């Protein structure tokens, strides 16, 4: 479920739409990758994940299913180990 908010992003251009997705990360993906032996240099050098994906993870932005699949393959986990659904009535972190 994606809800379009009409509020601008803080510091963003006026009128920019914000998409709220009630999904949040359960883990720090970059820390988990690092613990598994994949630091950001290795991810880029071996072309496992690009810089834009690494920046999305740093900013806790949504990832594509393709990106999530790559991360799950590297970590040997399922998407549910990484993300969870947050009902609209709970505060976001």
Match 């690009």 to its residue by tokens. Answer: 50
Question: Region 31-39: what's the mean pLDDT?
Answer: 98
Question: Region 35-55: what's the mean pLDDT?
Answer: 97
The pLDDT-based confidence of 79 (bands split at 50, 70, 90) is very high
DSSP 29-73: HHHHHHHTT--HHHHHHTTSS-HHHHHHHHTT----HHHHHHHHH
- Summary mean pLDDT of the chain: 83
pLDDT at 16: 57
Q: Which residues pair with 83 in a beta bridge?
A: 25
CA 64/CA 21 separation, integer angstroms:
13
CA 79/CA 62 separation, integer angstroms:
13
Task: Show the tokens assigned to 73.
Answer: 């393959």
The segment with the largest mean pLDDT, out of 4-8, 70-74, 89-93, is 70-74
Is the pLDDT at 14 greater than 90? The verdict is no
**Between 83 and 19, whose confidence is greater?**
83
Gyration radius from the chain CA atoms = 15
């Amino acid at each position: 479920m994606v809800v379009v908010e009409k509020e601008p992003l803080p510091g963003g251009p006026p009128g920019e739409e914000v998409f709220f997705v009630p999904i949040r990360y359960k883990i720090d993906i970059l820390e988990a990758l690092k613990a598994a032996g994949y630091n950001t240099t290795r991810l880029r050098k071996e072309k496992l994940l690009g810089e834009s994906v690494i920046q999305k993870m740093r900013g806790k932005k949504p990832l594509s299913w393709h990106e999530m699949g790559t991360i799950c393959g590297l970590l040997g986990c399922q998407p549910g180990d990484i993300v969870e659904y947050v009902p609209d009535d709970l505060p976001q972190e």
